[in-house]
Structure 1
């Protein structure tokens, strides 16, 4: 497989990054999303994704998913279960091109009010908030098609009873 597109003509390959995301659905099928913008493009609409972020060196995808979920929403889960899917996505952020390999998890939780606990400097500059998005209703910005598809699949396949969680 080729290295893929170069970084805006600079001749460098996109920076490789691993990430984990958690599809959090409430009993009614609403999906928790975190909105963000690119600091290099402040007037672009927010993109809404499930909570998640980078996997640190030596960290498992499941541990990263739990940590990121807690940092971005205040929700701590002892277990996010097995990975339900993965994807590789390329995107630009802060003037750099990234190729991100993501591992996705899915959980059903009782609806709660998200309260970020540990946003990084970049997250404070780029994240605009969280929302519970009812599947089928238009979100307040851009949502990738595969997020819609994965959210609908998780709603269909997850048990209806929420996990007991600590906030």
Structure 2
């Protein structure tokens, strides 16, 4: 995704590391801060580090495959799904009920829909959703779509998350 792409996240991390790494010519020892973005190969491992139960969608639009799993600051877990055209869907989860999407775009449409018993805030255009946000059982979630999808697709995705 343009706003959330892995390259951008990694570049920010590299810049932060260089900034906080200290002056290599100084006589004092260099102090490094821990890298806040940690990649994982297993959703279960990533969610455990973030202290989260494993709630993830089991249905996505056709052609999207899980690509990157990242934990930010040991508190926010995210999965990037990508299709062959390079378009991404970003799923995020954390404790609380705040907007964790990182998307501050002023969308044309900002409304609440229902999927089963779950209420979901969707943002986008009159016909397509670019961002979906919801909270449940003390956790907050977001789905960001680089290629917007229908309201029905969002409802289908959210209803496939298996709640304990």
TM range (shorter): under 0.3
> What TM-score does the superposition give when structure 2 sets the normalisation length?
0.27
Structure holding more strand per residue: 2
Structure of greater Rg: 2
Structure with the larger RCO, 1 or 2 (CA within 8 Å, 6+ apart): 1
> What TM-score does the superposition give when structure 1 sets the normalisation length?
0.27
